[in-house]
């Protein structure tokens, strides 16, 4: 009888775990926890001079050049993890889509269908919703960004790993340009956008993250 009960309990735990996993996936995709009003555009300040940061990882020599001090406060609408030993995954384990302004304020009213893939962030919005809530479709793209996060150290990496959809966060750090070298030759370059009003390829912010805060 005891064995039978234990088996039933095991089945219940498996079912519960599966339902919880599906729920967490839904939560992650929906970013349901928050719609936040009053969030302003991220703040950046040009650096007069900054020493490059030099790393060696998985056979690559990496030079990270800070260009602007950067503070991003916003609503996380989607996240995407990356791994591997090749650039840029070997220094940037996570991308986060972050909204502010009207996009963050109406994240519950509008189904933006947030998604991320191949280091890009996507959303969808009807023209009627854009006109009604955002002042036009052209304003939507200027009120969210896809951010490639480069943790400054292992402690920051743990904080970055904890970021989830729906979080109200403040990220502090630097917008950076990055060069990867292989056997003394340039392998690739990865440069940050420095404006919130661009779109498409090269429009993402690359942030060397020194601190992550959660607003509750």
Q: Kindly write down the DSSP assignment for every residue of 102-147, as one continuous string.
A: HHHHTTTTS----EEETTEEE----HHHIIIIISSHHHHGGGEEEE
27-42 residues labelled b (16+ CB within 10 A) or e (exposed): eeebbebbbbeebeeb
pLDDT tens for the chain, 216 residues long, are: 445 454 554 444 445 444 444 444 444 444 455 899 999 999 999 999 999 999 999 999 999 999 999 999 999 999 999 999 999 999 999 999 999 999 999 999 999 999 999 999 999 888 899 889 998 877 888 999 999 999 999 999 999 999 999 999 999 999 999 999 999 999 999 999 999 999 888 999 999 999 999 998
Separation CA 17–CA 145 (nearest Å): 33
As given in the structure block, the two tokens for residue 67 are 């260009």
- Please state the domain extents for the chain: 31-214
pTM: 0.85
DSSP annotation of 96 reads E
């Amino acid at each position: 009888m005891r064995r039978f009960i234990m088996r039933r309990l095991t089945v219940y735990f498996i079912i519960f775990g599966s339902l919880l996993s599906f729920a967490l996936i839904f939560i992650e995709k929906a970013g349901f926890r928050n719609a936040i009003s009053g969030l302003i555009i991220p703040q950046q300040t040009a650096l007069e001079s900054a020493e490059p940061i030099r790393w060696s990882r998985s056979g690559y020599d990496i030079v990270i050049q800070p260009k602007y001090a950067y503070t991003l406060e916003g609503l996380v609408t989607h996240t995407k993890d990356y791994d591997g030993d090749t650039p840029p995954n070997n220094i940037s384990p996570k991308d986060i889509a972050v909204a502010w302004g009207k996009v963050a304020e109406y994240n519950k009213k509008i189904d933006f269908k947030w998604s991320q893939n191949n280091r890009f962030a996507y959303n969808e919005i009807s023209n009627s919703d854009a006109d009604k809530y955002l002042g036009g479709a052209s304003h939507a793209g200027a009120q969210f960004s896809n951010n490639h996060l480069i943790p400054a150290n292992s402690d920051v990496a743990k904080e970055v790993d904890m970021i989830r959809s729906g979080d109200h966060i403040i990220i502090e750090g630097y917008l950076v340009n990055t060069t990867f070298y292989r056997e003394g030759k340039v392998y690739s370059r990865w440069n940050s956008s420095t404006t919130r009003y661009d779109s498409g390829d090269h429009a993402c912010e690359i942030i060397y993250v020194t601190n992550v805060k959660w607003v509750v």
